[in-house]
Structure 1
Amino acid sequence: MADNRENRDQVEQAAADWTVRLGGAPLTSGERAKLDVWLAASPAHRAAFDHARSTWANLDLLKADPGPLRADMTTAVSPMPIAQPVPRRRWGRVGAAVAGAVGAFGFVSFWFGDPLTILRADHRTDIGEVRTVALEDGSRVNLGPATAIAVHFDGRERRVELLSGVALFAPTPKAMAGGRPFVVEAANGEARALGTRFSVDRLPDAVRVAVAQHDVDVAAHAASGETAHAVLSPGRQVRYDANGLGSVAGVEVEQAEAWRRGRLLFDASPLGDVVAELNRYRRGQIIVANPALARRQVSGLFDAKDVDGAIATIATELGASTVSIGPFATIIR
């Protein structure tokens, strides 16, 4: 039974991938041939592909009429403009949530990630992928899923920009790198290594820095123009956002690095942050239906390979419900 389910999931994933690919640039002759071979391989392939195309078409219509949920979508961006109105469809609040999640980069960005991030990255991982990269100075970076970094080394400093996701940094000591400091930039702040191991996590509206070994100097530049600093010792963390640096707090290193072992550990974390992390492990997006729900706190230990199970458990604990739109989105409401 498990093998059948896994095979069905793989077929649906492939059908969704082909559907998204068809929404981009025209297929090359080689791609068209591969698609034809895949469709001919099994009636299940054709059925899954037709279903994915149908769902895709309905999502396209939803851009025109997001409905009442547009005002309270916590993850929404402005829907793409259309030339002419389309008759109202009875998709209700669920359909509107999907329409709100589809941003200005269109469905390809919604499915595969921000293309600008992909272009800027020197190293990146795919959805659900975790791997380690070695930088030219000998530093090692453990990249979490859906993570991208850009490396900017010069004669004065070793700067790494965390474009998306989460990463664990183990920099080569400054003395062994020509006296150049090791700095990780993320959003409106940076973490300057004074030690040997720390993680940086880009959340939806903030950045979290947690230290495992030695010290890290964190600086955040607020929208007001002020800059604040905090030196973190092992077992300490801090968050910063557009308003500046938050309060330093304790953190279990096991919790901060649980993703390295395929575990997702949350301790009174806002649902919005939890969903952002879960989205790194599956292609179809999880969307929270309103800001109040996104602020609800979640605690628990989940298996990164069973995101659907995590969603179901979290929804039950919060007294919420879920609705799926094919392989493309799951709404928590």
Structure 2
Amino acid sequence: MALTMSMPGRNKNKDAKDTATREARDWLLALTSGRATEHDAQAFRDWLRTDSRHQAAFAHQKQLWEGMGPAIQEVVAQGARSRARKPVFTGRRAFLGGALAASAAYLAFKPPLGLWPGVDTLGADYRTAAGEQRRVSLGNALDVDMNTLTRINVDHDAGGPVIELADGEAEIRSGATAAVVVAGKGRITARDATFNLRYIGGQARLCCLSGSLRLVHAQGVFDVVANRELRYDDTRVMPPVQVDPAVVTAWRQGWLVFNQQPLAQVVEELNRYRRGRLVLMNEQLGKRLVQARFSLAQVADAERLIRDAYGARVTHLPAGVVLLS
């Protein structure tokens, strides 16, 4: 008869991992129930910070749901086809009900058209909603002004706070103590400087407004001086170019400025500041160049401005979705 030796240390680690997995699954269900409150979101962030295993467990559960999304949708579609062919028994109905619930949880992570924030945004230390701007002061004369739909996380090393811009845009002011900011594959160091950093869809734009900055990237080390903007992604760094800082930071004064940009890009940017979604249905319309200055107070009425300026046909749908054709 074979004997299995118990390893106390290993069992203890396994129990802790199992507990983290179980709690992560509980948080997943709670946050996708549709009844989660801001208090729940704060409790979730606290839970994430207490143990690195919590972060790993939740990331794994999230990955499982994302991977199941297409399969869940196919199950629901098959169920609909089956109901058209034959009666549905109670067990089958219960199974489809579970599949629909799972599909709802999947949508919490992958909201269609970005109509609501995904559950994964709740884990950020600081975040802003559509149209919201806020200031975060981190001490040592380090201030961060967050633009709409922005997420940042704050950690600390021996030199002080390390800011991660996970998504969105922020203006950052550093004092005599060096500020360290990470966005994607870039690590920015600044002292007695002000800069605007935008990181959306894996694309970063780093604009120095005063002082000087240093970017460390896999492609090398780059210095950026005032009124210069440098763009990078995970694999490339573009040479710095001259920019108008007033245009880059217009959002801080409540404006959006577009200089000969395709309407498709303008609509994409406007969507970051409003509830609902503008959807371009006409490819040629999207190529029209825009020279405009929008007040953020006008963004909610952007479809009317586009209709009047470009003759677009406007169709309003539920949930704030507006078709432009």
| Normalised TM-score (structure 1) | 0.60
Deviations 1:260-295 (A, max 9, x none): 111111223354543343222212123344777666
Question: What secondary structure is seen at the aligned counterpart in 1 of 2:275?
Answer: coil
Give the counterpart of 1:324 among 316, 319, 323. 316
Higher relative contact order (CA 8 A, sep 6+): 1
Report the residue type matching 1:149 in the other structure.
I
2:134 aligned residue: 131
| 5+ long unaligned stretches in structure 2 | 1-30, 37-68, 82-105
2:194 aligned residue: 197
* Distance 1:79-1:144 versus aligned 2 partners, 3 A rule: farther
Question: What secondary structure is seen at the aligned counterpart in 1 of 2:170?
Answer: strand
2:291 aligned residue: 299
1:320 offset after TM fit, Å? 4.8
1:283 equivalent in alignment to 2:275: yes
How many pairs align?
A: 237
* Distance in 1 between residues matched to 2:302 and 2:169, nearest whole Å: 20
Normalized per residue, which structure has more helix?
2
Deviations 1:89-144 (A, max 9, x none): xxxxxxxxxxxxx967244893331321221x212222211121110333111111
| 5+ long unaligned stretches in structure 1 | 1-22, 29-76, 88-101, 175-180, 222-226
Q: Report the RMSD for the aligned CA atoms in angstroms.
A: 3.4
Whether the aligned pair in 2 keeps the contact of 1:146 and 1:280 (CA below 8 Å) is yes
Larger Rg belongs to: 2
Give the counterpart of 2:117 among 113, 136, 160. 113
1:327 offset after TM fit, Å? 2.9
Whether the aligned pair in 2 keeps the contact of 1:131 and 1:143 (CA below 8 Å) is yes
2:167 aligned residue: 164
2:224 aligned residue: 232
Question: What secondary structure is seen at the aligned counterpart in 1 of 2:73?
Answer: coil
Q: Equivalences for 1:19-30 in 2 at 5 Å?
A: 24-25=32-33, 27=35
Report the residue type matching 2:154 in the other structure.
V
Q: Sequence identity of aligned pairs in percent?
A: 26
1:250 equivalent in alignment to 2:258: no
Q: Equivalences for 1:34-53 in 2 at 5 Å?
A: none
* Distance 1:238-1:84 versus aligned 2 partners, 3 A rule: same
Question: What secondary structure is seen at the aligned counterpart in 1 of 2:256?
Answer: strand
1:78 offset after TM fit, Å? 7.4
1:188 equivalent in alignment to 2:185: yes
* Distance 1:216-1:242 versus aligned 2 partners, 3 A rule: same
1:323 offset after TM fit, Å? 3.1
Deviations 1:33-69 (A, max 9, x none): xxxxxxxxxxxxxxxxxxxxxxxxxxxxxxxxxxxxx
* Distance in 1 between residues matched to 2:70 and 2:278, nearest whole Å: 18
Whether the aligned pair in 2 keeps the contact of 1:103 and 1:110 (CA below 8 Å) is no
